[in-house]
Structure 1
Amino acid sequence: MLLVLKLVLVPAFLAALTLAARLWGPSVAGWLSALPVVAGPIVLLLALERGPGFAAQAAVASIAAIAASEAFNLAYGWSCRRFAWPLALLAGMAGWLGTALLLVRLPGSFGWALAAACVAVAASQNGLPRVSGKVPAARIGLADLAVRMLAGALLTLVVTTASASMGAAWSGVLSVFPLLASVLAVSAQRAHGADFVALLMRGMVVGRVSFATFFAMIALLLPQFGVAASFACAAVVSIVAHGLTRRMLSSHGRPQAVSRDLAGPQAE
Structure 2
Amino acid sequence: MLAEKLVVVVLISVFFAPALMAAASLIERRLGPSAAGWVGALPVAFAVAVIAVAVDSGPATAAAMALSAGVHVPAQVIFGVVFARVLHRHGLLRGAVFGALAYLVGALLIERLPAVLAVSIAVVVLSVAPRVMPSVPLLPASARRWPVTALTCAGAAVIVAAAVVSSRLAGPGLTGAVAAFPTMCTMLTVVAVTRDGASAGVHTLAGLVRSLPCYLAFCVTVALSAAVAGTTCVGLGLLACLAAAALTWKRVPVARTSALDTGQVLETAA
Indicate the SS of the match to 1:191: helix
Which residue number corresponds to residue 119 of structure 1?
A: 124
Which residue number corresponds to residue 16 of structure 2?
A: 9
Which digits, 9 at most, give the CA deviation of each residue in 1:37-94, with x for residues without a partner? Answer: 1222222222222222222122111112111222221222122223343332212211
Per-residue deviation, 1:255: 5.9
Which residue number corresponds to residue 233 of structure 1?
A: 236
Which residue number corresponds to residue 153 of structure 2?
A: 149
Which residue number corresponds to residue 81 of structure 1?
A: 88
Contact 1:27–1:201 under 8 Å retained in 2: yes
Per-residue deviation, 1:36: 0.6
Aligned residue pairs, count: 256
| Separation in structure 1 between the aligned mates of residue 140 and residue 45 of structure 2, nearest angstrom | 29
Of all paired residues, the percent bearing the same amino acid is 25
| Separation in structure 2 between the aligned mates of residue 61 and residue 38 of structure 1, nearest angstrom | 16
Supply the AA of the counterpart residue of 1:149.
Answer: C
Contact 2:32–2:256 under 8 Å retained in 1: yes
Which residue number corresponds to residue 135 of structure 1?
A: 139
Contact 1:135–1:258 under 8 Å retained in 2: no
Does residue 35 of structure 1 match 2:39? no
Supply the AA of the counterpart residue of 2:237.
Answer: A
Distance 1:161 1:123, change over 3 A: farther
TM-score (norm 1): 0.86
TM-score (norm 2): 0.85
Supply the AA of the counterpart residue of 2:251.
Answer: M
What is the aligned counterpart of 1:67 among 74, 88, 102?
Answer: 74
| Separation in structure 2 between the aligned mates of residue 113 and residue 41 of structure 1, nearest angstrom | 24
Per-residue deviation, 1:259: 8.7
| Separation in structure 2 between the aligned mates of residue 191 and residue 13 of structure 1, nearest angstrom | 20
Does residue 19 of structure 1 match 2:23? no
Indicate the SS of the match to 1:129: coil
| Separation in structure 2 between the aligned mates of residue 192 and residue 257 of structure 1, nearest angstrom | 16
Query: What are structure 1's unaligned runs of at least 5 residues?
Result: none
Distance 1:150 1:86, change over 3 A: farther
Distance 1:66 1:234, change over 3 A: same
